[in-house]
Structure 1
Amino acid sequence: MRVVLCGYYGMGNAGDEALLASLLQLLPKQVEPIVLSGDPAQTRDRYGVESCHRKSFPEVFSALRRSQAFIWGGGSLMQDSTSAMNPIYYGGLMRLAQFMGLKTIAWAQGIGPLQRSWVKGFTKSTFQRCTKVSVRDQASAALLNQWQIPFTLAPDPVWAMESTPVEGLWNLPAPRVAVNLRSHKHLTPERIAVFTRALIDFQKATQTCLLLLPFQASQDFALAQSLHEALPEVSHILQIKHPQELKGVFRGVEMTIAMRLHALIMAASEGCRCFGLSYDPKVTQLMSDLEMAGCAIAGLPTDPNELSHLWLELYANGDSLSENQIHSLVDRAFFHQTILEEVLGSADR
């Protein structure tokens, strides 16, 4: 059977690519996916799947006509904090698939923020029409409860994504600390300066090798380059395209300091101590759920010494998740696979 997979794919964001890799890993074997992508050639080459351009309506419509199911493939797709076009695009495709009679799955979703009343109403009615729904966080679950829509709640599927070794990683000096920043309005030049000074002090105290990991080049690379220029002898920028390899980086890392949700998930799942820098409710929720050390970007200490001390305390005395905690999160992440099997296993082939 053919299934259309829809998400923020082929757009250079490692977190969304990890969601796609997780979904492809968990799909039933009989499914032939068609991935809507911003870079279909790259998606075809990387994953060995059929792909069409996400903004070409003739191609998308043809894919829907040839398919039996449609999946929103993870992430915060129905939200209007960045743009009202997000719910129009993703919700519009979901409603079209529903109108055409396809089985529809809202998979591993993080719903919101929903700031506009019409977006909230449109989102509710779209989820009501889905064959199955799974969400990745308590806030989304609470919203669906309020709307009286049945759902499955499970950890983000990237917890369950396989990781693979990274060639050359073990040739870099140890111990290693991973760092990920992304551009954001609250990450002001003043806060970047404080962060950089704190990182210099932390590195001198620990003699660690810093792995700078841009997850989305357009938003992360300039910051990684700035940090590398401040610490040229002891830092390395790693630009890794394959999600499984990116997760594999964290196998060889003692501690991670990161803003991005999936950087923290990958690190925690591989047994790293983590310091979260929250810029979004989804990161705050993860940090709360895991009792993870960290702070909001808007509340970043203004004294570099205070920030470096927090990192040193975590590095020297902090704990990673226990093996039992990791196994539990991974096992529960496979609940997202269950709904795929329930819907796609019973669909007409």
Structure 2
Amino acid sequence: MGIPHQRIVISGYYGFNNSGDEAVLQSILFALHEQGERQGIRFTPVVLSINPEWTTRTYGVEAVHRMRPKEVWRALQQADGLISGGGSLLQDETSAKTIPYYIAVIRMAQWLKKPVFIYSQGIGPVHRKLFYGMIRSAFRRCEEIMVRDEESRALLLRMGLSEQKVQVVPDPVMGMPLREGVTIRPAQDESPVIGVSVRWWNEDRSELKAVAEALRQVLEQTSATVRFLPFHLPSDEQASLYVQEQLGERYKARTTIVQNVTHPQDMLAEVASCQVLLGMRLHALIYAAGQYVPMAGLSYDPKIDQFLNRLDMKAATSTVHPNAEAIATELLDRLNQREKWLEAKQSSIAKLQQEAQLPAERIAGFFARKLR
């Protein structure tokens, strides 16, 4: 008798050229493969993507168009279960349509009597209380609810879910490895590289002006160079160009913008080759932590603060009152106190890396018990 196969649909923000969300998908695929092998199961993932051809080409998995209900329904009909996550799927900060979409996919699976697993999601912010009942009702029928921080768990408890039902696990990307054969050994005798991940947020661009001013101060005081890392194309590339222009001609020559990196492991290697990182994007900070690169955070969303909290850190500043001095001070500290930072954070990071496999382990265990 051969190894049993389980088809599992994966729902998330996939195929949108967002390196962070693609890293979530890649990490889930790695973890399912590894934990499936350990428990004698072979998972066949089917990804709901806005660009299924690209997803299939990039990851070698089946994919269907996330906005074609008939295709989604058919995929769920043929599946043994649904994974919803990870990432910040259930929030209404960016759109009021986001929560209804992801809950609809969960509901479809539940109508078809398929087990549903909430995989390391960040829940919230949820500003519209009318969504509370929608989330509570769908989640009460889920097999496993695993969220990526205590704040998400607290929000679900306020919505009326029981304490026993909700488990806190790390973001899956903490467990993502570099490509096989890729080793990063930053040269100690070269100028340090500051990785910078920025995005558009404030209408007046005050946060990007603060980043530029902070980088100017750091470049004045060190021999460092700046490498901009666009996580979401093309918008982050444009935001990086804006900061580069704000730096002026004097410092522009000491900056580069990484071009056309779409595979998460390639971006992970870019982050790993930096000596420090300034990140607005959550997954830029997670990549840095996973590769033991000292980082400073610029918070535009509670999820940034929630991740930094897990490392006993706070954001250097926020988009509400962006402070160039605070960013510069933190970057200089990370450059000058690299070893001290690494020593302080090493055990916390190692724990998160180890626990990042927990959701896949629980899912593989569920199907292993079911097939006995």
TM (normalized to structure 1)?
A: 0.92
Q: Counterpart of 1:297?
A: 319
Instruction: Tell whether 2:111 aligns with 1:99.
Output: yes
Q: Is the Cα contact below 8 Å between 2:276 and 2:331 reproduced in 1? A: no
Report Cα offsets for 1:142-200 as digits up to 9, x if no partner.
234452151321111111111237799979x6421100111113x63344223212212
Residues of 1 paired with 2:355 and 2:186: CA distance?
Answer: 31
**Is contact 2:184-2:272 (8 Å) kept?**
no
**In the alignment, structure 1 residue 117 sits paired with structure 2 residue 133:** no
Give distance in 1, aligned partners of 2:117 and 2:165: 12
**5 Å matches for 1:241-252?**
241-252=262-273
Tell me the distance in 1 between the aligned counterparts of 2:353 and 2:209: 37
The one of 157, 170, 195 equivalent to 1:155 is: 170
**Residues 183-223 of structure 1: CA distance to partner in whole angstroms, max 9, x if unpaired?**
113x6334422321221221232111211001102431111
Residue 364 of structure 2 corresponds to residue 341 of structure 1: yes
Query: Does the aligned pair in 2 maintain the 1:73–1:106 contact within 8 Å?
Result: yes
Of residues 212, 219, 231, the one that matches 1:196 is 212
Q: 1: distance between equivalents of 2:326 and 2:82?
A: 49
**For residues 25 and 191 of structure 1, do their structure 2 counterparts lie closer, same or farther at Cα, with a shift above 3 Å needed?**
closer
DSSP 3-state at the match of 2:14: coil
Q: Secondary structure at the match of 2:155?
A: helix
| SS of residue matched to 1:299 | coil
Secondary structure at 1:291's aligned position in 2?
Answer: coil
On the 8 A contact 1:152/1:336 being kept in 2, the answer is no
**Aligned partners of 1:99, 1:309: CA distance in 2, in Å?**
54
Task: Between 318-327 and 273-282, report the one with greater CA deviation.
Answer: 318-327
Maintained 8 Å contact 1:132/1:343: no
Kindly, what percent of the aligned residue pairs are identical?
32
Out of 347, 357, 362, which is 1:324 matched to? 347
Q: Would the alpha carbon gap of residues 225 and 168 (structure 1) be closer, same or farther in structure 2, given more than 3 Å must change?
A: farther
**Aligned partners of 1:67, 1:317: CA distance in 2, in Å?**
50
Q: 1:82 to 1:305 in 2, by over 3 A?
A: closer
2:206 is equivalent to residue 183 of structure 1? no
- Report the TM-score, using the length of structure 2 for normalisation: 0.86
* Partner in structure 1 of residue 8 of structure 2: 3
User: What is the deviation of 1:316?
Assistant: 1.4
Change (3 A) 1:190 1:81: closer
1:225 is matched by which residue type in structure 2? Answer: L
Q: CA separation in 2, counterparts of 1:20 and 1:306?
A: 34
Shift of 1:347: 4.4
**2: distance between equivalents of 1:270 and 1:310?**
19
Q: 1:69: how far off?
A: 0.5
In 1, Cα distance between the equivalents of 2:325 and 2:59?
45
Q: Quick check: 1:258–1:276 contact (8 Å CA) kept in 2?
A: yes
What displacement does 1:31 show? 0.8
Aligned position for 1:315 = 335
Q: Over aligned residue pairs, what C-alpha RMSD do you find?
A: 2.3
Partner of 1:266: 287
> Residues 212 and 244 of structure 2 are in contact (CA less than 8 Å); yes or no, is this contact kept in structure 1?
no
Which residue of structure 2 aligns with residue 208 of structure 1? 224
Aligned counterpart in structure 2 of residue 237 of structure 1, from 240, 244, 257: 257
Change (3 A) 1:166 1:221: farther
User: Is this contact kept in 1: 2:218–2:332, CA < 8 A?
Assistant: yes
Shift of 1:60: 1.1
More displaced 10-residue stretch of structure 1: 120-129 or 214-223: 214-223
**Aligned pair count?**
346
Code of the residue aligned with 1:31 in structure 2: it is F
Aligned partner (choices 81, 87, 103) of residue 75 of structure 1: 87
Partners in 1 of 2:184 and 2:174 — Cα distance?
A: 24
Moved more, 80-89 or 139-148: 139-148
Once the 2 structures are TM-superposed, how far is the Cα of residue 344 of structure 1 from its aligned partner?
Answer: 3.1
CA distance in 2, matches of 1:285, 1:170: 29
1:278 corresponds to 2:299: yes
| Distance change (3 Å), C-alpha of 1:160 and 1:78 | same
CA–CA separation in structure 2 for the residues paired with 1:150 and 1:306: 40
What whole-Å deviation, never above 9, does each CA across 1:40-79 have from its counterpart, x for those lacking one?
A: 1110111000111111112111111111101102011111
